[in-house]
Amino acid sequence: MNGLASERRNKMILSIILGIICVIYVLPVLAVLINSFKLNTFVKTDTFAVPLPGSEMWAGVDNFVKGMTFGKYPFWNSVKYSVVITLLSTALILVGTSMAAWYIARVNSLFCKILYFLCVFSMVVPFQMVMFTLSNTADQLKLNTPWTIPIVYLGFGAGLAIFMFVGFVKSIPLEIEEAAAIDGCGPVRTFFMVVVPMLKPTMISVGILEIMWVWNDYLLPYLVLDLEKYRTITIHIQYLKGSYGTVDLGATTALILLSIIPVIVFYLTCQKHIIKGVAAGAVKG
């Protein structure tokens, strides 16, 4: 009985600790939600006060309208470019890294081992170490548009993706691919018709993680894109400044809320796939 009571007490303590951590993580999102409906003057003075409809601090949807119509750059253009960059980058990462991982896992050579360790090592290299060189290189190679910047994202997203894909491919029996080869499948058909369907759990997991990363990224588009022509949502929010550098915090928090809602909904919908994919790609093999 003492052991059972001790176990229950430990679980209760763990639940309380995790609950506190959860509140700490949710608090910034809650603050954004509350302040997105306040007048600008009350965002600074009454940050956590809840604005009720009809009260003096209530702004309603005015902050959202103001944020979308502020300045000369259309907000919906920023949404369009964010969607284009996110989808193209994720698709390129999934296709490119899954094929590379399959080759690395199946070809037992020194070159593949070195390539794999270089990809894994890239995960620990801080972006700040290469960002200025990267910006100059992207300008020289004309990678400063929403349709070419996915190539840059491929380089930075390859490390984690290849690490997860290689771990999963090693768990796939080689006899399945040999049977496909006996039936007349070449390497390309074997990959897309045999390997890709079995990679589905890891592909979903990697895709979700990459979408969340690219959608929320600010620094890379800011350094690489031509900001006079192309702005993502994160860059659009940064440019919500009036004369003398004044910032409308109400409109800013309103657009921040609009930018994080798709990611939150997407993550809550697909979180079970993340857990399955991480377990499949990082534990097996």
For residues 38 and 51, the answer to whether their CB atoms sit within 8 Å is yes
Residue 112 scores a pLDDT above 60:
yes
pLDDT confidence bin for 278, thresholds 50/70/90: low
Task: Look at the block and give the residue holding tokens 């929010």.
Answer: 237
Stretch 61-87: mean pLDDT:
89
Stretch 193-215: mean pLDDT:
87
152 contacts: CB under 8 Å, gap ≥ 6 = 134, 138, 143, 220, 224
Stretch 191-218: mean pLDDT:
88
Structure tokens of 199?
A: 């990679």
pLDDT score for 284: 46
| 225-275 confidence digits (pLDDT tens) | 988 889 999 998 888 875 556 777 888 899 999 998 888 888 888 777 666
Stretch 178-205: mean pLDDT:
86
pLDDT score for 226: 86
For residues 106 and 174, the answer to whether their CB atoms sit within 8 Å is yes
How many CA atoms lie within 13 Å of 26's alpha carbon, on the beta-carbon side?
Answer: 6
Domains of the chain: 2-65 (no CATH), 73-282 (1.10.3720.10)
CA 207/CA 175 separation, integer angstroms:
28
Stretch 128-151: mean pLDDT:
88
| 159-168 confidence digits (pLDDT tens) | 889 998 998 8
Cβ burial of 99 (10 Å; 0-12, 13-18, 19+) is middle
pLDDT score for 152: 92
